[in-house]
Structure 1
Amino acid sequence: MKMTTKRISKSKNNRGGKQKGLQDTVLTGVKGDDANIDHSVVMGANLGTVNFTSAIVPTDADLQPINDLTEGMVETETFVWIVKAIENGQKLFVITGEPGEGKTTFGFLILREMNQKGKTFCLVTSPENYKQRKNCDLLMFDDTFGSIAFEDKKYSDWEDTIIDVLALPEHKGSHSGTNIILIILRKTILAHLKTKLGRYANVFDDREILIDLTTTHRLTESEKRKVLEIHLDRNDMHENEGDIHFVCSSTFTYGFPQCCRMYADKVKVNIRGIFDRPLEFLDKETKWLLKKNKHNREVLQIMICDETFQPDKEADDEKRQTLIAATNDIFYLRQEGGCFHFAHSSYQESVGITIGIEDPRFLITRCSMPCIKKYMDASTATGRALFSQLTDELKDQLLSKIAKEFGRGDYDFMKYDLLHNKENLINVLNSECCAVDTKDVQLKPMQSRPEIFLL
């Protein structure tokens, strides 16, 4: 079926499309008895914080953040198809893709469309939120199991909820008792999630349910042109037709919308280079920032550890002003309400890997285990590259750190194939916190601790 592509009105406010003031915003998404429930939520590193509280009828002010986030965005053929599928009774949609494909923005376009059709909605941020779903027409799960890598702890918290969602009947038919569900997550996280779900994973194989923005539902060349034009117009930039044709007609391994944003944010760079090798560009940019001065390095290290930089936490006035001034050099940061954060999770991932490879000691000694696990993913090339930089001394420190986490009961870290020397890991655990059966590489925790297997 031939479908049209509609472009929404443009906006030149806030360079790179980032909107201010989101942390003070209240959105309505639940009605009736839930009217006093506060749904506070962080909607991904690139969207800032939005507060959801319940109300019967949303006002224009309530909906302004969604309108701001989606203003100027392109309504693609895939978007039109999903809206029609919802009208025909389909209840479940899984939106996936590589980093920077615009998955979350796509979800918000759907939220806005549903609101215009009189539907209520809620961004589900906890299993408790999900239990209050009766009075809400549409529920959206965004990066529920991790924004960069699959997080076992989050899956443990959400396991019953996601199984309940996937077990709901009539996902593709009219069923008055079922909400419309949007699940948004990276392809790598989806692949890991499927290994956990057993028979429920089959739901993700349905081509009508799975919306892959990288392959089956990727942008057409004309849609790419519209996306690029929006970013160029917002920043009063101009490019020759040859370069525009090249980037819009080519297929890249990184999300096209995020490359557009990156190019618009970082002026005076080669457009073909950013679209063809965006991660290489980010790596070089971060290395330049780290060499330029120590304050850039300090800000980025704070953000790798905490995911945000809050200047008010710095007691020394002079140092605080120096660090704030350093943020002016870092194009991929955004400020909202006095707090700096990465404009997109892909920036955070790239910076963490660059810093980790350059200074593995910082990663091991200063970062928490969840942070280390996020970047040192043994299933990825970058994770293995990070591990290869560790000296024997740093490996010992990491093993001790893992053992302490194990002793506190954070068992998900032990399930993770973080290290390649299992024998060394077993020795550390044996000496610090548990008895070990080396024959089957099986940890047998003492007393009531659950059994844990090294994958």
Structure 2
Amino acid sequence: MATMNVIGNNGDTTNTIVTVGVVNSHENDNVYSSLNVTGVADGVVEQAITVGHLHGNLHVNETHLTEAEHVTVTDSNVSLLQEVVQPDYESQRLQEYTRTVTGKADEVFVPTQTYKLSAACLTEASLVTIIGSPGDGKTATAYKILSDYQAEGYDIFIITKPKELKYRRNPENPTIFLIDDIFGKTEVPKETFKKWKRALEELEPTLNSTFRLVITSRDYVFNEYFKQLGFLRDSLFREELVVEVNLTNSEKVRILEKYISHHNLAMTTVDIKQIANMPTPYGFPQTCALFFRWKKFQSNPVAFFRNPAHFLQDAVRDLAEECLAKYVALLLVCAEGDVCIASLNNDDARLAHLLQSKDISVDFFLENRYTIFPELCGTFLERDSDTVTLAHEAIRQAVLNVEDHNPCLR
């Protein structure tokens, strides 16, 4: 853990402080520092401009733990012993991650009317909110937009916390943010909603041609929170800046044909039209993504699109019969939401319980985890670095239906 020694004024208030002997350290891919603020008793530092992000009302002779971010140390009227500004490793890492994630959208993306309207909103107002049902392609549309702006030289970030709206932006570079499912997949805690609301209120005046924002939300969640947004309803979330996903049948045909071409498969024109004209329970783009994951189900495309759950449950049952260790790995991801492969150990009670219930050795599982988890990716799981998550929420429901008596999933 790195230490920053901060020198304040003689009991007065100063707007700027400097860092002394700063050393950055990494722990679990996060950068942390301890701020040791020193000065005359009762002195106050209103804004700490250090390698850490902006702080308010830091009192002298206190120690504060903060997430390290790169900002410029400005001129000050306090003594400067040694000025050290470290690179913003976390922001660089997040940008690389965002580029990797958003780049995937280009492979099978079709420029729908939703995409065109969203792009127009960003051009005219530097802001758009995309709403729709789960699996309708909100996030894929947002990813494509970020990818477009990245190609134009913008810094791109997927924002997950309200405080990031303040310190992720580099004023020297054009930037675009994405807040995906801003109000949660079902709901967010009241305090979290208040923080997002305050952050957006502060952000609104700064939006311009070099700073843009994309927001996504499930339609039913957005409608629930819209009435609590106050004056933001008539500014950031006014009607002309909210685009609702509504795929036409012709767009569905184009999306399906793009997937077919990308995966080099054959499908009859009759099947394509029938699939495009019937409702799908998980959202059409996501059902397409699911369908092309399992080759053994592609012989009956109309049946799959009509009822994917039946096929997914068959796939989960087959997995349990073929390899219990892989099935336990899938159970663990369903229970945890995401799993860091490297962090698994003998002290993980949930993992131990799952393995015991299937009569599998913990040592065997841990020794083979880098074979077990990767072999589930591309079908059941997706992987980012050392972390795995479900490829689709519909898989969780299929697992629950197969393993409906396992308390570890509840």
State which of 110, 116, 126 in structure 2 corresponds to 1:80: 116
State which of 163, 166, 177 in structure 2 corresponds to 1:131: 166
Shift in CA distance, 128/199, structure 1 to aligned 2, threshold 3 Å: closer
In 2, the alpha carbon distance for the partners of 1:107 and 1:72 equals 14
Residue 263 of structure 1 deviates from its aligned partner by 1.0
Q: Deviations over 1:102-151 (max 9, x none)?
A: 222211211122233444433223222211347254221113443x4323
Q: Deviations over 1:213-235 (max 9, x none)?
A: 1xxxx223333223222322232
In 1, the alpha carbon distance for the partners of 2:191 and 2:183 equals 9
In 1, the alpha carbon distance for the partners of 2:336 and 2:242 equals 33
Q: Is the 8 A contact 1:121 1:138 kept in 2?
A: yes
In 2, the alpha carbon distance for the partners of 1:100 and 1:106 equals 11
Matched residue, 1:52: 94
Q: TM-score, normalised by structure 1?
A: 0.57
Structure possessing the higher radius of gyration over alpha carbons: 2
Matched residue, 1:149: 186
| Structure 1 residue ranges without an equivalent (≥5) | 1-23, 25-29, 41-49, 365-455
Matched residue, 1:395: none
Matched residue, 1:275: 305
Paired residue total: 309
More strand by share: 2
Say which structure, 1 or 2, has more relative contact order (CA 8 Å, 6+ apart): 1
Matched residue, 2:397: 350
Residue 167 of structure 1 deviates from its aligned partner by 7.4
Residue 190 of structure 1 deviates from its aligned partner by 2.1
1:361 aligns with 2:361: no
Residue 260 of structure 1 deviates from its aligned partner by 1.0
In 2, the alpha carbon distance for the partners of 1:119 and 1:190 equals 28
Q: Is the 8 A contact 1:168 1:178 kept in 2?
A: no
More helix by share: 1
1:259 aligns with 2:287: yes
The within-5 A match list for 1:95-244 is 95-132=130-167, 133=169, 135=171, 136-146=174-184, 148-152=185-189, 156-165=191-200, 176=208, 179-194=211-226, 196-197=228-229, 200=232, 206-213=238-245, 218-244=246-272
Residue 168 of structure 1 deviates from its aligned partner by 6.1
Residue 252 of structure 1 deviates from its aligned partner by 3.0
The alignment partner of 1:51 has SS state of helix
Q: Is the 8 A contact 1:138 1:181 kept in 2?
A: yes
Q: Deviations over 1:342-401 (max 9, x none)?
A: 123x24542464367x1253345xxxxxxxxxxxxxxxxxxxxxxxxxxxxxxxxxxxxx
In 2, the alpha carbon distance for the partners of 1:361 and 1:258 equals 28
Residue 192 of structure 1 deviates from its aligned partner by 3.8
Shift in CA distance, 304/101, structure 1 to aligned 2, threshold 3 Å: same
In 1, the alpha carbon distance for the partners of 2:125 and 2:227 equals 25
1:37 aligns with 2:88: yes
Shift in CA distance, 317/184, structure 1 to aligned 2, threshold 3 Å: same
| Structure 2 residue ranges without an equivalent (≥5) | 1-28, 30-68, 73-84, 347-361
The within-5 A match list for 1:332-347 is 332-344=380-392, 346-347=393-394
In 2, the alpha carbon distance for the partners of 1:180 and 1:321 equals 46
Q: Is the 8 A contact 1:287 1:354 kept in 2?
A: no
Residue 238 of structure 1 deviates from its aligned partner by 0.8
In 1, the alpha carbon distance for the partners of 2:279 and 2:201 equals 32
The alignment partner of 2:296 has SS state of coil
RMSD over aligned Cα, in angstroms?
A: 3.9
In 1, the alpha carbon distance for the partners of 2:275 and 2:71 equals 48
Identical amino acids, percent of aligned pairs: 19
The alignment partner of 1:182 has SS state of strand
Q: TM-score, normalised by structure 2?
A: 0.62
Shift in CA distance, 110/314, structure 1 to aligned 2, threshold 3 Å: same
In 1, the alpha carbon distance for the partners of 2:313 and 2:262 equals 26
Matched residue, 2:35: none
